[in-house]
Amino acid sequence: MSKKLRLIEARKLMLDQDYKVGEAAFQVGYVSLSQFNRDYKKLFSHSPKEDIRKMKELIHESKNL
């Protein structure tokens, strides 16, 4: 699986199943959490924690429309 697909899968795990950052990273095959954080920020422009927080806010707001 490509790095991009692994990061997308980790994002889904954190959003849909409330995985913690480290859990999602290891679930998709990362051994180094710091490398996961760097790769994630490079792809999504935010740290995993910040990205998931923002995504959950957007989802919550869209449900209230």
- Provide the residue-wise pLDDT of the chain in tens; the chain has 65 residues: 899 999 999 999 999 999 999 999 999 999 999 999 999 999 999 999 999 999 999 988 898 87
Residue 11, domain CATH: 1.10.10.60
* Alpha carbon 65 to chain centroid, angstroms: 25
pTM over 0.75: yes
Number of C-alpha atoms within 13 angstroms, CB side, residue 30? 23
Tally the domains of the chain. 1
* Domain span holding position 32: 3-63
Phi-psi region of 47 (alpha: psi -120 to 50; beta: other; left: phi over 0): beta
The token pair at 10 is 């980790």
